[in-house]
Structure 1
Amino acid sequence: MAYRCGDRQQMCLLPPSIEEYVAEDDPVRAYDAFVEVLDFHELGITINPYKVGNAEYDPRSMLKLLIYGYSYGVKSSRKLERECYHNISFIWLMGGLKPDHKTIAEFRRRNKKALKKVLRHCAQVCIKLKLIAGNILFVDGTKIRANAGRRRTHDRAYYEKLLVNIDQRIEKLLEDCESIDLQEEGSCSYVAMDKELAKNQNLKERIKETLASFASGNRKTVNQTDPDCAIMGSVQGSHTSYNVQSVVDDTHGLIVQAEAVSDTNDVNQFSRQIDQATDLLGKPCDAACADAGYADTDDLGKIDAKGIKVIVPSQRQALHEEEGPFSKSHFIYDKEQDCYFCPEGHRLRYWDTDNNTGERHYRITDKRQCHSCKHYGTCTTAKKGRKIKRLPNEEMKQKLEAQYEEAASQEIYVRRKARVEHPFGHIKRNLKTDAFLLRGRDGVHAETSLLATCFNIARMITIFGVGVFKEKLSSLRMVPAIA
């Protein structure tokens, strides 16, 4: 016979078990072993085998289903349900359990807080396995679309007008109810209006909640479907999105901390993310690195004050802008006299302070010195002579710029892209994450935690192999079976 052909009618003397269908080195066994070492009590999920009443699905099995599903880009509860019937690795992982999509969705919705902690526990496993050293940390962010349409994003005036219209509709419905009050209570018209009234009152409460979102921060617009998301620009255009931040360790490129925020840019995120990462590590890192998007001197100064070397280029350094011969850096500042000296030795004394920005302004003592200088017209063309602005945190800015230029810092910065952008590429392409499924910051944060955990597990399987990884996990056994 020229070909090997299968026979669906072939019978076996002894029916095979599910175990026989999954190889010993199949990755699904690594995911199974990982969930078994998690402390469900710390996650906030109670496992009680003596619980009375109708039996629930084992939370460990449900968490395995979510993590393994997300690891292969299967996130929808309906698709996960289908996999439990048709995919042999899912069947093995679940031990033949087949929860329906409503059960899966309810478990995910009910355990958002627990899912947010999964990444933290995963990072602790990595630390115990000596895969995360915590010496050098990289921070970066990416935009991932929210489960909300852009057209549902409006300003405060729109919602206030909508609230007035709903109040008028509710008032009209109440008047109509009074007019038919003498009719039979079960009449179709009365029942229909009762439903319409409840619908409008529910909508009114939702709009009030949306309006409350304007109070928390300086937001100009809020999305009605998901008030926590924001319109953000990216290379793919402008969409309702979340800004996903991650902190990656330099040793093996594993994620230490990840979080979805509503801020449209990365400014003021550096200190927040590093603080959360060092809290998990239990020690401050030696150096923290990020791109120029995080270049906010005040924010970076918070980390520098903790003795951590900050490696973040300023916008000027990132753009490789060449400084002219009469740029501010060529003017010498005398701290004792609180004045500047220009390259020609002329003095610029303190003039005034901008009350809004805190900038201190320095001017040439005698404008005639500028007018008679051979560099007048190149250094400045101002009639009053040269002016210098000094930032309130000028010394910190100069320190951070000099720190970035160091040879050791450049060696670390070169590794930044390879380390911190790799997880985002894996999550977006391999895990097929072009948008979140859940809505609200809690739900999106839970999904972010799952996605980051999936990346870490995939990396650990690559580093150790399935067999060795299982052995190392079994040696940890952090968790008792019953919490």
Structure 2
Amino acid sequence: MNTNFQSYNQQQSWLFPPSIEELIADDHPVRIVNGIVEQLDLSLLVEEYSKEGKPSYHPKMMLKVMVYAYMDNTYSSRKIEKAMRENINFMWLAAQQVADHNTIARFRSKKLKTIFKDIFKQVVLLLAEEGLVTLKEVFTDGTKIESIAGRYTFVWGNSIKTRKEKMAEQLEAMWKYAQSIADEEDDDPTPPDFKKIDKEKVAETARKIEKIIRKNPKASTKSKAKLRYIQKNFPQNLDKYEKQQEILAERGSYSKTDPDATFMRMKDDHMQNGQLKPGYNVQVSSESQFVIHYTLHQTTNDLNTLKPHLNTFEYLYEFLPEQLTADAGYGSEENYEFLEQKKINTYVKYNTFDKEQGILKSKRKKKNEDFNRDKLYYNQEQDHYICPMGQTMEKIGERKRKTKSGYAQTSSIYSAQNCQDCQLRGACFKAKGNRIVERNHKLEAYKEKAKRNLLSEIGELKRKQRTADVEPVFAHIKSNRNFKRFTHKGIEKAELEFGLHALAHNIRKKCA
């Protein structure tokens, strides 16, 4: 029998019992968390607490525990409570105090809600003091993260519009039917306007129809049933649709179980087929793979997120970065103008940049691509185009439009003089009349400037750095840390949740 074992005695007494401090390695990440939080000014967090009533757990202790929990992939308040009882690292941070899960949940959702961005900013500034970041150049990109809302609880703006149109059609049909059987006394030569209907219009029209149907023996039973259905359902349905449209605002959809979430097409979903899911568009600005700033948005694309993202950056830090690099999802006239006004050196692609440089190659050449507007010669001095047959295309007017964000754009319209007998007409274009092309001179100027910046030596470097800077942040948070779905409803709580992940990411990277 082998008796070559180390001594094992659970009843062995300690002459000098070890302290928790001695059991934690000097270079353990929990010590980094403790050291960083100790340097923060938590006066705003302290103000969230009442001076009356039962003494609360110290906010410094609660913040240390919360930040380390997210570094440890422990997000549930019940699991954090369990860790405070059993995990030596949590026990050391909390000085062996144990907060119950309700206290932990309230601290996260209520105490941190309004002041967390200030804590995040202080940590980023500490990283800057250590020379890990400069805050002068950032790489910006977005990713979509699923909401905790039910996946099939959608409300679509277009569906509401269609239903209201069908209601208007049914009401108009009933009105026409009533007028067809009405006598001279009830005949109304001026029908109501059914393009826009509301509860009052439905009630008034239904009352008039009912008056005609009741006194006319020719009225069918089917028409009476339709009228009863209109009177019973239309007003309450219109009420419901109006409330839904208020929630939608400028969006095209929302979730019934998380009205702040918008349905977005994700790259991966639970069925692996890219279907629409409720979620948020997370925008991140990074430097050296540290998260410098983050915001959450309800829009499905990145185009209209850059301005609010940078505005909150400026509000938080009281300055803006000197350089910004982003992909083609942000290349618009409005964004280029905004960045120019803010005097930010820009390395932002426009939508056709990769194709122009041969980076993005289409599988097959599009038909008539050689006759595309961008292939036509434009005479800047005389402000006209030359068509493939050598015809001058003179300017005939301007077109003004506004984007969803309210930004005004102006385009010039150019028309060929005579395309009727042109031999290239079939290949050039197929519409009736003479060919017309549209050009936004302001946008073209911005695109030309962006192209020069992107093709410069520093521009090529920035393009390479972007893919190696901000995208790994998303990969680390979503894939390595398995954060692919929010656990809290509402955009404010979701933003706080992502902020905790971003802060944990920054401290974890500092530890590395």
For this structure pair, what is the TM-score category when the shorter chain's length is used for normalisation? 0.7 to 0.9
Contact (CA 8 Å) 2:385, 2:392: kept in 1 or not? Answer: yes
CA contact under 8 A between 1:146 and 1:242: conserved in structure 2? yes
Q: 1:80 to 1:402 in 2, by over 3 A?
A: same
**Equivalent AA in structure 2 for residue 244 of structure 1:** V
Q: 8 Å contact 1:352–1:361 — kept in the other structure?
A: yes
Superposed, which structure 2 residues align to 1:360-439 within 5 Å?
360-367=412-419, 371=422, 378-380=427-429, 384-391=433-440, 393-439=443-489
Mean Cα displacement is larger for which, 352-361 or 92-101? Answer: 352-361
Superposed displacement of residue 212, structure 1:
6.6
Distance 1:142 1:212 in 2: 26
SS at the partner of 1:150? coil
Question: What is the letter of the counterpart of residue 279 of structure 2?
Answer: S
For structure 1, which segment, 341-350 or 71-80, has the greater mean C-alpha deviation from structure 2 after superposition? 341-350
Distance 1:293 1:90 in 2: 42
Give the equivalent residue in structure 2 for 1:231: 263
The answer to whether the 8 Å contact 2:255/2:261 transfers is: yes
Report the CA distance shift for 1:278/1:56 in structure 2 as closer, same or farther (over 3 A).
closer
Q: Deviations over 1:273-313 (max 9, x none)?
A: 23333454544433211122223232232112322232222
2:127 is paired with a residue whose SS is: helix
From 17, 26, 31, the counterpart of 1:15:
17
Structure 1 unaligned segments of length 5 or more: list them.
Answer: 162-203, 463-483
**AA of the residue aligned to 2:378:** Y
Residue identity matched to 1:389 = E
Q: Distance in 1 between matches of 2:346 and 2:263?
A: 30
> Structure 1 length normalisation: TM-score?
0.76
- The residue type paired with residue 266 of structure 2 is S
Partner residue in 1 for 2:406 = none
Q: Shift in Å at residue 10 of structure 1? A: 2.4
Q: Which residue of 2 aligns with 1:350?
A: 395
Distance 1:119 1:438, change over 3 A: same
Residue 116 of structure 1 contacts residue 445 of structure 1 at CA under 8 Å; is this kept in 2?
A: no
Q: How many percent identity over aligned positions?
A: 29
How far residue 131 of structure 1 moved from its aligned partner, in angstroms, is: 2.1
Deviation of residue 42 (structure 1)? 3.7
1:397 Cα deviation after fit: 3.1
> Residue in 2 aligned with 1:312?
348
Residues 46 and 59, structure 2, Cα contact 8 Å, conserved in 1: no
Aligned length in residues: 411
Counterpart in the other structure of 1:188: none
1 CA distance for matches of 2:60 and 2:490?
A: 25
**How much does 1:396 deviate?**
2.2
Deviates more, 1:352-361 or 1:115-124: 352-361
Q: What is the alpha-carbon distance in structure 2 between the residues aligned to residue 216 and residue 383 of structure 1? A: 39
Opposite residue 348 of structure 2, the aligned amino acid is V
CA shift in 2, pair 1:382/1:438, >3 Å: closer
The letter for the 1-side match of 2:110 is R
When residues 378 and 5 of structure 1 are mapped into structure 2, their CA distance, relative to the original with a 3 A threshold, is: farther
Residue number in structure 1 paired with 2:281? 243
Letter in 1 for 2:20: I
Could you say if the C-alpha distance between residues 342 and 113 of structure 1 is closer, same or farther in structure 2, counting changes exceeding 3 Å? Answer: same
Aligned counterpart for 1:288 among listed residues 320, 324, 328? 324
Match of 2:313 in 1: 277
CA contact (8 A) 1:210 1:227 kept: no
**Does 2:154 match 1:153?**
yes
Unaligned runs of 5+ in 2: 165-235, 269-273, 403-409
- Once the two structures are overlaid, the 10-residue window that deviates more, 444-453 or 1-10, is 1-10
Task: Kindly state the Cα deviation for residue 317 of structure 1 after the two structures are TM-superposed.
Answer: 2.2
Q: 1:453 deviation in Å?
A: 0.7
1:60-107 CA-to-partner distances (Å, cap 9, x unmatched) read 111111111011110100000110111111111111011111111111
Q: Does the aligned pair in 1 maintain the 2:118–2:316 contact within 8 Å?
A: no
Conserved 8 A contact 1:359-1:390: yes
Q: 2:33 pairs with 25, 31, 37, which one?
A: 31
Q: How far is 1:22 from its partner?
A: 1.1
Secondary structure, counterpart of 1:315 in structure 2? coil
SS in 2 for 1:92: helix
1:18-62 alpha-carbon deviations (Å, 9 max, x no partner): 2122121111011011111111124564579xx554221111111
CA drift of 1:416 comes to 0.9
Q: Distance in 2 between matches of 1:209 and 1:69?
A: 43
Deviation of 1:394 (Å): 3.1
**Change beyond 3 A, Cα 1:400–1:91:** same
User: Quick one: higher RCO (CA 8 Å, sep 6+), 1 or 2?
Assistant: 1
Instruction: Report the CA distance shift for 1:227/1:213 in structure 2 as closer, same or farther (over 3 A).
Output: farther
- TM-score by length of structure 2 reads 0.72
Residue matched to 2:138: 137
Looking at structure 2, the residues matched to 313 and 209 of structure 1 have their Cα atoms a distance apart, in angstroms, of 40
Q: Which letter does structure 1 place at the counterpart of 2:43?
A: H
Change (3 A) 1:55 1:457: same
**In the aligned structure 2, how far is the partner of 1:209 from the partner of 1:379?**
46
The structure number with the bigger radius of gyration is 2
Alignment of 1:67-216 (within 5 A): 67-111=67-111, 112-155=113-156, 211=243, 214=246
Aligned-residue offset at 1:227: 1.1
Q: Which residue of 2 aligns with 1:470?
A: none
Corresponding letter in the other structure for 1:31: V
Distance 1:146 1:45 in 2: 31
* Residue-by-residue CA offset, 1:127-185 (whole Å, 9 max, x unaligned): 22222212321111111121211233335788x99xxxxxxxxxxxxxxxxxxxxxxxx
Q: Is the CA contact (8 Å cut-off) linking 1:145 and 1:434 kept in structure 2?
A: yes
Separation in 1, partners of 2:155, 2:390: 56
CA contact (8 A) 2:419 2:425 kept: no
Q: 1:455 to 1:137 in 2, by over 3 A?
A: same
Name the structure 1 match of 2:227: none
Which residue type is aligned with residue 364 of structure 1?
A
Partners of 2:283 and 2:296 within 8 A in 1:
yes
Establish whether residue 57 from structure 1 lines up as the match of residue 57 from structure 2. Answer: yes
Counterparts in 2 of 1:149 and 1:382: CA distance versus 1, 3 Å: closer
Q: 1:399 and 1:154 mapped to 2: Cα distance?
A: 42
C-alpha contact 2:297 2:305 (8 A) present in aligned 1: no
Q: What secondary structure does 2:132 align onto? A: coil
Once the two structures are superposed, residues 325-374 of structure 1 have per-residue CA deviations (whole angstroms, 9 ceiling, x without a partner) of 54433434344533223466532101344455743321223437x726xx
Q: Which amino acid counterpart does residue 149 of structure 2 have in structure 1?
A: A
